[in-house]
Each structure stands twice: as C-alpha cells, then as structure tokens.
Amino acid sequence: MCGIVGIIGNNNAKDILIDGLKKLEYRGYDSAGIFVNNGQEDFLVKEVGKIKELENAISSNVNGAMGIGHTRWATHGKPTVENAHPQFSEDERFYLVHNGVITNYEELKNTYLSNVKFASQTDTEVAVQLVSYFSKQGMSTLEAFKKTVNLIKGSYAFGMVDKKNPDEIFVAKNKSPLLIGLGDGFNVICSDAMAMIEQTNQFVELMDKEVVVLEKNSYTIFDKDDNEIQRNSYTVDLDPDDISKGTYEHYMLKEIDEQPAVMRKISESYFDNNDDVKVEEKLVNDMAQADRIYIVAAGTSYHAGLVGKTLIEEMTDIPVDVKVASEFGYHMPKLSKHPFFIFLSQSGETADSRQVLVKVKELNLPTLTITNVKDSTLWRESTYQMQLFAGPEIAVASTKAYTAQIAIQAVLAKAVGEKMNSQKAKELDLKEELALAANGMQSMVDEKEMLKKLAHEFFINQAHAFYIGRGVDYDVSLEAALKLKEISYIHTEGFAAGELKHGTISLIEEGTPVVAFINDPNTSEHTRGNIKEVQARGANVLVISNEKYKQDSDQIVLSSINEMLEPLISIIPAQILAYYASLERGNDVDQPRNLAKSVTVE
Ligand code: F6R
C-alpha cells in the first residue's frame, strides 16, 4: 500500500528518495513521485508504473537537499500522473504525500474549497488545498497544517513541504504508519524503517494525531492536545543484506527456501538450554486464565490462525474463535467473560486488525500480537508481543510468515498448556517436531524441478482450480488456494473436501484441476472418496499426501510429523506450485496486480 519517504539536510536527496521508494516497492503500488528542492529551484516528477519508470523520467539536473517521495496504491481515482503524489496546492506552494483514506474529504471540499480548482480525483488533494486555504487566511504554515489535520477524519500519514520554507518538513499521522529517522546532519521520514535503514538505524515512533516539524538537525513533536513533547529514538535492528534478493530471481522463491532456517531460528529463540519452551511468564499466566481465545487476523495470517486454533485447543482445552479482522471489529459477537485476544500479522500494520485492537483495548482486555515486525503498530499497542523471527518478508505473497505464525502458535500453546498441566502439551516434543518440520520443508524445497513440471501440467491454460482437504488439510487448502489465485490470477477455491458435493461440485468439468491434501488421520479415507467423486466428473487430480497415508499414484509425498503441525510441510509444495504457475503465465510474481503487502487502509 502507499509508501512515504522524505529527507532534509542531505545533498543527495533525490537518490536517497528513489532508493527508499525502491525498498517500499514490496508494499504494492501503481504510481510514484518525488518532489525535491535545492533552495533555488524545485522539481516535481511523477509517473505511472514502476519506480524504474520514475527514475527514467528524472532528468540529471534534479537535485536538492530536501524532498519527499511516494508510492501510491490507488483508492480515490485511477492510477494516473495527476493522481500520483506529491499532490500540490493550486498556487503550487505546498506539496504533500499521503498514506491513508480521508473519509470526510467531500464535506471538507464543499465547506472550504468550493472556489479551488482541483487537479486530481484524490482525497489527498483536499488536504494540501486546505493548508493553502488556511495559509491564505493569514495562518503560519504550521498553524495551517495543524488546523487541516484537526479537520480531517480517517487515516493519514502526511509529509508536507512548503516551497517558501524548504528548511522544514511537516509531518502528521493517524492510524497509518510513519516513522522519523535521525541521521548525522540530516533527518528522514518513512512508512517503514526498511526504506531508510541504509541512512540510519535510529528511529522515533509517532503516535496517532501527533504533528511533527522536522528540520535537518532537530524534530519537534506536538501531541494530540498540541503540547510539545520529547521522545527519544530507538535502534532498529535490521541488516540491509536481509532485504536483498541475493542470487534469486524473485523474493518469493528466496522466502520459500528460507523456511527451514526460520523453523531453526524459532527453535533457538523460544527454547532454553534444557529444551524447555521459553515464553514470557506473565503472558502465559494471563492466557491460561482465559475462558475463550479470539484470534483476529486477515488473509494468510487468518489462515495461520485456523491452524493455531487446533494447536491451542488441543494443548490448552481453551476454546478458540478465529475471526476475520475486517468483519469482527464492526460486528463484534457477545464476548466470553474472560477473553484473551491474539492478533496475528506479518506486517504488524494491517489497518483491519488494528481497528479491532483499538476497540479491544478500550474494553481493557489482554492482547497479544504475534508479528514479524518488532516495534510495528500492533506490536507497540498490544499488552504482549511475540516475534516471528522470519526475517523481512518482501514478496507480497506471504510464505515464511505463514509457517512462522503456525510455529509460534505451537510454542505458545505448549507453554500455556504445560502451565495448565495438559498432558498433550507435555507430551509434544515441539523442539523435535520443529526440527522434523525443517527437514520435511527442505525435502519439498529440493523438489522444485518436479513441482515446476506439475505446475505446468495442472495449471497452465486453466481459468479455475480447487484445493480440497479436511481438518487441518482444509485450513491449508484455504491458504494454498489464496497463494495460487493471488499470484497466478487463476480463480482458485479452497474447499472442505466433504462439502463439494453440496453444490460446488457442479463446477467440476473435464480437466478442472483439483489438488487434494491427505494428511488428516481421521478422514484420509473420506477424502479419497471425494477424490473419486471429482475424478468421475472429469477433474484432473493432484494428490499431496504424507508417507503415512500415501498411495502409489500420489504425485507429491511429504514426510510425516505430528498431524497438528503437518501444515508446516504441506503448504510448501502449494507455495512452489503457485510460484511456477505465476512465472509461467508471465506475471509479476513478487508484486501481483492490485495487491499491497502492508494493507494500511480499512
Ligand atoms: C497473502 C497475504 C495477505 C496478508 C494480509 C494480512 O499472501 O500476504 O493475505 O496475510 O493482508 O497482512 P498481515 O499479516 O501483515 O496482517
């Protein structure tokens, strides 16, 4: 989703902005732009498409020590040059980049700006025109900016420049992420520390409704009540090498391959020298007292939560509900007496999950965020935190975060279960299972050539496909289907194998690809029956089974681990099939159309 960068006090502003925007490319976008000022002249360059195209459009004379840059993921108005950011005021004095959605932009436009000529269809332009409007009424730029921010409803992260005073960048945020970074003689802003990690590792977090004036050697923060406040920086521990593609053609394949190492890292991080599971005691105690656990998440993280439900219920006996964040916040069910909330999120920034967290916090209920990004918004705002340790995930399609989320939920379930004296929790040798999972993943990762051929055989020229399974295999089917559809654009459904015959089987015709998972001990025979049903109607069936339940005709056989954890291995061939299907269809694997990595609008 939209990404923001800005810098003040470095003569190389243009290159740093472009480099920062490239690091934010993974978030997904459809146009980009920069504004650079060198004290005498200023330059605005915007392009539709990739940063490469923006780079090609920037002439060699563009230079300056301050500037702002943006990648836009269209919400209001098509991806066009006019709608790309920075947006500017009618008198071309103020330039502004924005991430978020201004919900009352039409009302503001009608109330204050009926005489202003708008150049774009964006909600953002209202903000910059309003600053100009208030400034013309005699307010200082800071006053006009604060006044504008106070009037705006919705979500925003803003970086704004006043051409008449290029020694300051005006910054504000509400709900959308934005950080300040501190350098030696320069300062930066960015949506994500990754964008500026090569410039600095010192960042200052911003709270909702704060306004900041950034200069090259200082920053002044005003809180939501307009009091000037002090806040120190923290160190972000991010290795720039971790965000490079290395020798891989795509981040997605690199991240798929990293999964065995992630399992080992989780083992090292969450087990002590005696092989005892290591989780914050207060968190374990709090969760053990819950009468119901709510897992709230979106997309792939939601699918990981479905697997987590089985792990937590089996090992703690506490009932678990898994909820889609965008639904839960606005249609909250009647909660149990002592609920405990778990937020699962790779990015820690998902707006849908965050709005639920805000509501849950208002009810004074305990919350845990399990995320890959330490110090992200969900991390900071929840009672407890657990880190995924998956390393930066750049490809839009989530892979290693999914398996890491499952592994961390297993760690948590074991710690809480042991606290509650659960026999099942005590008996599960999780450290050993994670080692087995790493080996099983590696065996699949090593089968890329075979999987590439299967992807060609089953998915090329197909418009529709199905993944089916029962129990945790059904949970994995949902994730496998999401992987295939989001990057190959083949319409794919994940279905409970036994449910197909209740209607959806009418879609099966000659050649329809159906991928079946057979890893569930209670239902493998039933799923075999469902395979026969679709084969009888012409389906082309690909079976992913594990060595315990395999038959000779099964094309993909996985090694076997504890059945609750089998998804750690069974998802790997599905990720690789999706990768090759996308590649063969000529799609942009890492940045599929219409999608964003960090979904910071509701
Ligand atoms: C799909 C994918 C998305 C995310 C979803 C939630 O591959 O990555 O479905 O899982 O947008 O994002 P996070 O996990 O960052 O909260």
Domain that holds residue 301: 245-445
CA 483 to CA 480: how far, in whole Å?
Answer: 5
Starting from the edge strand earliest in sequence, which strands make up the sheet with 219-222, in order? Answer: 87-88, 94-99, 156-162, 169-174, 210-214, 219-222, 228-229
Q: Which of these three, 241, 267, 302, is where a domain ends? A: 241
The CATH number of the domain where 418 resides is what?
3.40.50.10490
> Are 204 and 218 contacting, i.e. CB atoms less than 8 angstroms apart?
no
Looking at the fold, whether 225 and 274 belong to one and the same domain comes out as no
Residue ID of nearest Cα to ligand 1 atom 13: 345
Looking at the fold, whether 510 and 427 belong to one and the same domain comes out as no
pLDDT digits (tens, 9 = 90+) for 139-191: 999 999 999 999 999 999 999 999 999 999 999 999 888 999 999 999 999 99
Residue 200 has pLDDT above 90, yes or no: yes
Looking at the fold, whether 112 and 203 belong to one and the same domain comes out as yes
- 22 domain residue, yes or no: yes
Of 22, 109, 400, 597, the active-site residue reads 597
Catalytic annotation present for 374:
no
Looking at the fold, whether 373 and 454 belong to one and the same domain comes out as no
Looking at the fold, whether 215 and 274 belong to one and the same domain comes out as no
User: Tokens representing 151?
Assistant: 């009037």
CA 190 / ligand 1 centre spacing (Å) = 21
Looking at the fold, whether 315 and 399 belong to one and the same domain comes out as yes
Rounded to 10 degrees, what is the CA torsion of 162, 163, 168, 173? 30
Helix/strand/coil (H/E/C) assignment for every residue in 434-450? HHHHHHHHHHHHCCHHH
CB atoms closer than 10 angstroms to residue 113: 18
Q: Which of these three, 393, 422, 445, is where a domain ends? A: 445
Residue 229 has pLDDT above 90, yes or no: yes
Name the pTM for this structure: 0.83
Which residues does 525 contact at the CB level (< 8 Å), separation at least 6? none
Q: What is the tally of structural domains in the chain?
A: 3
Rounded to 10 degrees, what is the CA torsion of 183, 188, 194, 198? -40
* Mean pLDDT score, 247-260: 94
Residues 386, 391, 395, 398, CA torsion sign: negative
pLDDT digits (tens, 9 = 90+) for 272-292: 999 999 999 999 999 999 999
The CATH number of the domain where 194 resides is what?
3.60.20.10
Looking at the fold, whether 493 and 396 belong to one and the same domain comes out as no
Ligand 1 atom closest to the Cα of residue 397 is 7
Whole-number pLDDT of residue 375: 86
Whole-number pLDDT of residue 150: 97
User: Tokens representing 235?
Assistant: 């160190």
- 597 domain residue, yes or no: no
- 93 domain residue, yes or no: yes
- 596 domain residue, yes or no: no
> Are 573 and 452 contacting, i.e. CB atoms less than 8 angstroms apart?
no
Which residues does 158 contact at the CB level (< 8 Å), separation at least 6? 96, 97, 98, 127, 149, 170, 171, 172, 173, 178
CA 75 / ligand 1 centre spacing (Å) = 18
Looking at the fold, whether 255 and 313 belong to one and the same domain comes out as yes
Looking at the fold, whether 430 and 553 belong to one and the same domain comes out as no
Looking at the fold, whether 161 and 277 belong to one and the same domain comes out as no
Looking at the fold, whether 73 and 83 belong to one and the same domain comes out as yes
Q: List residues near ligand 1 (CB under 6 A).
A: 298-301, 345-347, 350, 353, 397-398, 482, 486, 599
- 601 domain residue, yes or no: no
Of 2, 173, 414, 485, the active-site residue reads 2
Q: Which of these three, 198, 223, 241, is where a domain ends? A: 241
Looking at the fold, whether 150 and 203 belong to one and the same domain comes out as yes
Residue 194 has pLDDT above 80, yes or no: yes
pLDDT digits (tens, 9 = 90+) for 539-578: 999 999 999 999 999 999 999 999 999 999 999 999 999 9
pLDDT digits (tens, 9 = 90+) for 410-428: 999 999 999 999 999 999 9
CA 356 / ligand 1 centre spacing (Å) = 16
pLDDT digits (tens, 9 = 90+) for 38-52: 999 999 999 999 999
CA 576 to CA 595: how far, in whole Å?
Answer: 19
- 439 domain residue, yes or no: yes
- 529 domain residue, yes or no: yes
Which H/E stretch holds residue 16?
helix 13-24
Burial class of 362 by CB neighbour count within 10 A (0 to 12, 13 to 18, 19+): exposed
User: Which is more confidently placed, 76 or 149?
Assistant: 149
CA 58 to CA 80: how far, in whole Å?
Answer: 17
Catalytic annotation present for 245:
no
CA 422 to CA 415: how far, in whole Å?
Answer: 10
